[in-house]
Structure 1
Amino acid sequence: MTDLTPPSGPLSRLGLSVIAATILVDQASKAIAEAMLPFGVTIDVLPFLALHRVHNPGIAFSFLAGFGGWPLIVLTAVITVVVLILWAQSNEGGRWATVGYALIVGGALGNLIDRAIHGYVIDFLLLHTGTMTLFVFNLADTALTFGPAILVIIYLWPRRQSAGTS
């Protein structure tokens, strides 16, 4: 059910805290992966999850890998600005909308930092089913998955009707 109160804006304490925490955790995990994980070697953690460091020159699933660094940096920056504008103009969703938008912005900025510094994004979490690889991702990608999921739930989940109303 949608909270009818406006979300805190991008510059609110909650918004900035979630963005900063997302970037910090993402960048720290990538630095650890770069320092500790051999490139391209799979280390099983769970039956469906392994550590496997790769460098992704594209976006999700290496899509647009042939574009090169600067076009993807510009594309990511433009999408991030659009999300910030949508967030600033949002008039309902409350705290959960703030968290959702902030996860998207933090995740996008985490991957943008990689792309600007390295020319690629560091991925190190391998999701698989036995011998079939599903995808390799990082914690910024996780934020970019959970942020929209939160927004879909709060904005598109059917609203309950109050007792006595139709």
Structure 2
Amino acid sequence: MRKPLLSTGLRWLWLAIVVLIVDLGSKQWILSHFMLGETQPLFPSLNLHYARNYGAAFSFLADRGGWQRWMFAGIAIAIALSLLVMMFRSSAQKRIANSAYALIIGGALGNLFDRMWHGFVVDFIDFYVGDWHFATFNIADTAICVGAALVVLEGFISPADKDKATAGNKG
């Protein structure tokens, strides 16, 4: 007997769609309102700054001639498909894990779209302290990082739940 899709972790895919819409919308706004390299202060320690990233996180491999575009696209597709399978196999009740996977999928697809459509990823969030600036990033990057942090958090929470379940079955 097949299980209904809404009883699986795929029920949480709405979160990936929200991330994708917010990410692509914010990038389109930046492309429409900023020139490359333009900066607009928002708050102390936070600017909007239009930058192009031809590589991966922190511009890793950005200067390698273009092949990295296809490698990173392949990695994003493989990760998204793997996480979709994990969500399908997971119960909808596993909120933290499925939310984490959905955030990572939404972020990966947002950056994948940029890579395939523009040939680069649009970055625009510039966090700084004094003269030190963190690498410029975007909403997709934020979703991926939050999702990864939730995976780690779930790893700390989940063993305790399994230990309680195992202890309850011994009685």
Pick the TM interval, shorter chain.
Answer: 0.7 to 0.9
Specify the alignment match of 2:46 in structure 1. 49
Pick from 56, 60, 63: which aligns with 2:57?
A: 60
Q: How many residues align?
A: 155
Instruction: State the shift of 1:91 in Å.
Output: 5.8
Structure number with higher relative contact order (C-alpha < 8 Å, ≥ 6 residues apart): 1
Specify the alignment match of 2:153 in structure 1. 153
Instruction: State the shift of 1:8 in Å.
Output: 3.5
The percentage of counterpart residues that share the same residue type is 36
| Uncovered stretches (5+) of structure 1, i.e. residues with no partner | 1-6
Q: Is the 8 A contact 1:50 1:127 kept in 2?
A: yes
Q: TM-score, normalised by structure 2?
A: 0.80
Instruction: State the shift of 1:93 in Å.
Output: 6.7
Specify the alignment match of 2:13 in structure 1. 16
* Amino acid in the other structure paired with 1:38: M
Specify the alignment match of 2:83 in structure 1. 83
* Amino acid in the other structure paired with 2:160: R
Specify the alignment match of 1:30 in structure 2. 27
The answer to whether structure 1 residue 130 and structure 2 residue 130 are counterparts is: yes
Q: Is the 8 A contact 1:50 1:126 kept in 2?
A: yes
Q: TM-score, normalised by structure 1?
A: 0.82
Q: Is the 8 A contact 2:27 2:122 kept in 1?
A: yes
Moved over 6 A (4+): none
Aligned counterparts of 1:89 and 1:17: Cα–Cα separation in 2: 17
More helix by share: 2
Instruction: State the shift of 1:156 in Å.
Output: 1.7
Answer with 1 or 2: which has the greater Rg: 2
* Cα deviations by residue, 1:112-161 (Å, 9 ceiling, x for unpaired): 01111001100000111111111100000110011111121122247388
* Amino acid in the other structure paired with 1:97: A
* Amino acid in the other structure paired with 1:159: A
